[in-house]
């Protein structure tokens, strides 16, 4: 009888508490609990559109990389970095630093390394990193991908690659990105290379700085009227001297040139162009080569448009376009739409 009475009282007590709770609002969770639950929900719902604005914050938890963004590699990897492995070395000297400028051009990641001692450059080289799946550069949200890497310097081994293409992995981190693999100059064999974003001023001169240093000015009207503005490419020569050239002329007076020769490192130049002080359909160009320190490359290009799709370079004296010292025939460039 006592057991029955106790059971009845317990049931009545439970029902009374439930009734009270139904009429009282639940306490709001604190911000930390809410954020943790929000991130957990976002991690479980992988199919959610990262740009829809719904769900958790724009930056969500991702176990592999520490955080997730909808940016593609071409958006998050360019910039200036510091080689952070130096901090772990027994003979670490803060006067020695290695910085890197990272660019993505036509499906290739270029890492321009410059070693500094007391703020003066004493060594430079470049790494070319080509993703094994090209789409991984452009798909939103990619933070880890496999690639092939090679390194070179215009001032070492006659400008040739230092070794054959080597497999590596690129992984985004909260501070920058890491490269893992073996056999690369930029890698520590055990820990890989850690590149952390840096506020260090880029060491290559901008087009505006080149104009100012030479007391020249851009002329967008000339470039537009002459039909020079745009993106152009050309396949030149045959056999061992064959090369592919990509050139981009912009309205602000800056230009980009990428020269690819068979079995040779890419030569990437950035700088300025103008017809200020130049006669006829010609422009003076001045650029610096990635991986080549701050040595300027200069030349004169004569050109004319041959229809809506073609740019003919009739004469030039720039090593940015040349492979040999021999005079070259007219180079026919086709516009890239």
Q: If you write DSSP's letter for every residue of 18-67 in order, what string do you get? A: HHHHHTSPPPPPPHHHHHHHHHHHHHH-TTS-TTSS-SS-SSB--TTTSS
At 95-124, the pLDDT tens digits run 788 899 999 999 999 999 988 887 778 889
pLDDT top residue among 246 and 92: 246
Give yes or no: residues 192 and 243 share one domain: no
With respect to residue 123, please indicate whether it lies within any of the assigned structural domains: yes
Of these ranges, 39-43, 138-142, 153-157, the one predicted with the greatest mean pLDDT is 138-142
Q: Which residues contact 272 (CB under 8 A, 6 or more apart)?
A: 207, 208, 210, 211, 216, 218, 253, 254, 255, 285, 286, 287
**Domain boundaries, position 237:** 207-335
What pLDDT, on a 0 to 100 scale, did the predictor assign at position 109?
A: 97
Structure tokens belonging to residue 168: 């590596």
Whether pLDDT at 44 is above 80:
no
pLDDT band of residue 45 (cuts 50, 70, 90) is very low
What distances in angstroms separate CA 66 from CA 2, 74, 171, 192, one per listed residue? 59, 19, 11, 18
What distances in angstroms separate CA 101 from CA 68, 118, 269, 293, 319, one per listed residue? 23, 19, 13, 12, 23
Q: How far apart are CA 219 and CA 211, in angstroms?
A: 11
Q: Considering 197, 232, 256, which residue would you say is the last residue of a domain?
A: 197
**Average pLDDT of span 18-22:** 42
Q: Residue 247's beta-bridge partner residues?
A: 232, 257
Give yes or no: residues 326 and 219 share one domain: yes
Give yes or no: residues 165 and 280 share one domain: no
**Residue 269: exposure state from Cβ atoms within 10 A (0-12, 13-18, ≥19):** buried
Structure tokens belonging to residue 181: 């693999």
Give yes or no: residues 260 and 185 share one domain: no
Give yes or no: residues 172 and 256 share one domain: no
With respect to residue 20, please indicate whether it lies within any of the assigned structural domains: no
Q: Considering 154, 173, 197, which residue would you say is the last residue of a domain?
A: 197
What pLDDT, on a 0 to 100 scale, did the predictor assign at position 168?
A: 93
What pLDDT, on a 0 to 100 scale, did the predictor assign at position 18?
A: 43
pLDDT band of residue 293 (cuts 50, 70, 90) is confident
**Average pLDDT of span 299-323:** 85
Give yes or no: residues 211 and 157 share one domain: no
Give yes or no: residues 138 and 257 share one domain: no
With respect to residue 176, please indicate whether it lies within any of the assigned structural domains: yes
- Check which CATH number belongs to the domain holding 83 and give it: 2.40.128
**Average pLDDT of span 143-153:** 95
Structure tokens belonging to residue 131: 């993703």
Give yes or no: residues 216 and 179 share one domain: no
**Average pLDDT of span 84-97:** 75
What pLDDT, on a 0 to 100 scale, did the predictor assign at position 328?
A: 62
Whether pLDDT at 183 is above 80:
no
* Contact by Cβ (8 Å): 309, 233: no
**Average pLDDT of span 226-243:** 88
Q: Measured at the alpha carbon of residue 200, what is the angle toward residues 202 and 62, in degrees to the nearest 5?
A: 105
Provide, rounded to the nearest whole percent, the portion of the chain with pLDDT above 90: 44
**Average pLDDT of span 228-233:** 95
What pLDDT, on a 0 to 100 scale, did the predictor assign at position 8?
A: 37
Give yes or no: residues 193 and 211 share one domain: no
**Average pLDDT of span 33-57:** 39
With respect to residue 17, please indicate whether it lies within any of the assigned structural domains: no
With respect to residue 55, please indicate whether it lies within any of the assigned structural domains: no
With respect to residue 6, please indicate whether it lies within any of the assigned structural domains: no
Give yes or no: residues 226 and 147 share one domain: no
Provide, rounded to the nearest whole percent, the portion of the chain with pLDDT above 70: 75
What pLDDT, on a 0 to 100 scale, did the predictor assign at position 42?
A: 39
Give yes or no: residues 90 and 184 share one domain: yes
With respect to residue 18, please indicate whether it lies within any of the assigned structural domains: no
Provide the pairing of β-strand 296-305 with 282-289: antiparallel
pLDDT band of residue 192 (cuts 50, 70, 90) is confident
For 55-77, give the DSSP string.
SS-SSB--TTTSSB-S--HHHHS
The total of structural domains in the chain comes to 2
With respect to residue 86, please indicate whether it lies within any of the assigned structural domains: yes
Of these ranges, 85-99, 148-162, 174-188, the one predicted with the greatest mean pLDDT is 148-162
Q: Considering 140, 169, 197, which residue would you say is the last residue of a domain?
A: 197
Structure tokens belonging to residue 300: 């004169």
Question: If we measure between CA atoms, which residue out of 203, 188, 173 comes closest to residue 87?
Answer: 188
Give yes or no: residues 239 and 319 share one domain: yes
Q: Which residues contact 270 (CB under 8 A, 6 or more apart)?
A: 204, 207, 254, 255, 256, 257, 287, 288, 290
* Contact by Cβ (8 Å): 264, 159: yes
**Average pLDDT of span 72-94:** 84
Chain mean position to CA 180: 17
Whether pLDDT at 31 is above 80:
no
What pLDDT, on a 0 to 100 scale, did the predictor assign at position 156?
A: 87
């Amino acid at each position: 009888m006592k057991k029955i009475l106790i059971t009845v009282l317990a049931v009545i007590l439970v029902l009374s508490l439930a009734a009270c709770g139904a009429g009282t609002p639940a306490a709001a969770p604190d911000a930390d609990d809410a954020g943790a639950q929000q991130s957990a929900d976002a991690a479980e719902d992988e199919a959610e559109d990262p740009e829809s604005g719904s769900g958790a914050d724009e930056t969500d938890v991702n176990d592999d990389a520490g955080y997730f963004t909808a940016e593609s590699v071409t958006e998050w990897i360019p910039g200036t970095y510091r080689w952070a492995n130096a901090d772990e070395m027994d003979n670490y000297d803060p006067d020695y630093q290695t910085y890197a400028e990272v660019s993505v051009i036509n499906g290739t990641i270029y890492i321009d390394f410059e070693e500094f001692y007391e703020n003066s450059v004493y060594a430079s080289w470049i790494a070319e990193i080509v993703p094994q799946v090209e789409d991984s550069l452009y798909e939103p949200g990619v933070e880890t991908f496999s690639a092939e890497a090679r390194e070179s310097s215009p001032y070492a081994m006659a400008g040739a690659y230092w070794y054959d293409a080597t497999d590596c992995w690129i992984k985004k981190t909260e501070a920058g990105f890491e490269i893992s693999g073996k056999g690369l100059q930029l890698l520590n064999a055990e820990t890989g290379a850690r590149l952390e974003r840096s506020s260090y001023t880029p060491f290559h001169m901008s087009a505006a700085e080149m104009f100012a240093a030479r007391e020249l000015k851009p002329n967008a009207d000339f470039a537009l009227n002459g039909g020079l503005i745009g993106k152009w490419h050309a396949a030149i020569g045959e056999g061992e001297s064959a090369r592919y050239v990509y050139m981009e002329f912009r309205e602000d007076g800056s230009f980009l040139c990428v020269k690819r020769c068979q079995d040779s490192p890419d030569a990437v130049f950035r700088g300025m162009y103008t017809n200020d002080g130049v006669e006829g359909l010609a422009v003076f160009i001045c650029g610096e080569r990635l991986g080549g320190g701050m040595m300027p490359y200069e030349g004169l290009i004569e050109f004319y448009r041959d229809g809506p799709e073609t740019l003919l370079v009739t004469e030039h004296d720039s090593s940015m376009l040349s492979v040999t010292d021999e005079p070259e025939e007219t180079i026919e460039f086709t516009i890239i739409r």
